[in-house]
Each structure stands twice: as structure tokens, then as C-alpha cells.
Amino acid sequence: MRREKTDSERGRGRAWVRNPTYSGLSALAMGYALWEGDVARIILAVGVFVFLDRKSKAEEKWLSARFPGYAEYKARVKKLIPFLY
């Protein structure tokens, strides 16, 4: 029986980062903060990134326990920033 390809095998968003929604929200928050040039907004954007990073860490514990191949996926794909983190 033929196995259906996963998003990471198809080259979609999850092939670049493990949580593209959190990456997009973080990028949007930081982009807006930089556009406005307001230090308070930049600090808030960093806070959004830290919050989403910690939230994804908790979610990944559950995913690792639930899906046996998740550890290999984690080793292959960065968490929030393509090629960096």
C-alpha cells in the first residue's frame, strides 16, 4: 500500500520550519515593530517570539510522545527561523 506524503516531503511550509504559523506571527510582529520604529513595540515583538517559542516547546513534547517519527523530523527541520533556529 502506498503511503501519502507529508507536508515536509512535499516542500510546503513545514519543510522549512516546524511551526510556520508561529514563525509568521513572530515575523509579522517584528516587522510591524521595526516599521513603526518604536522600542516598546520591538520589545513586545521579542516577547511574542519568546512566548511562541516556549509554547511550541511544550507542544513538541506531546508530538514527540504521540508520533514516533517526530524526533527525526525535529533533527532535520528548524523550529521557527529557517536554517537558523
Which pLDDT value is given to residue 6?
Answer: 60
Q: Domain extents for the chain?
A: 17-76
Nearest to 22, CA basis, from 43, 51, 1: 51
Amino acid at 45: A
Check whether 72 has a pLDDT greater than 60.
yes
More confident of the two residues 79 and 8: 79
Among 58, 61, 82, smallest CA distance to 8 is for: 82
Q: How would residue 82 be classed by pLDDT, with cut points 50, 70 and 90?
A: confident
- From residue 64, give the alpha-carbon distance in Å to each of 14, 21, 23, 60: 16, 19, 20, 6
What pLDDT is attached to residue 47? 97
pLDDT digits (tens, 9 = 90+) for 20-62: 999 999 999 999 999 999 999 999 999 999 999 999 999 999 9
What's the confidence (pLDDT) of residue 46? 97
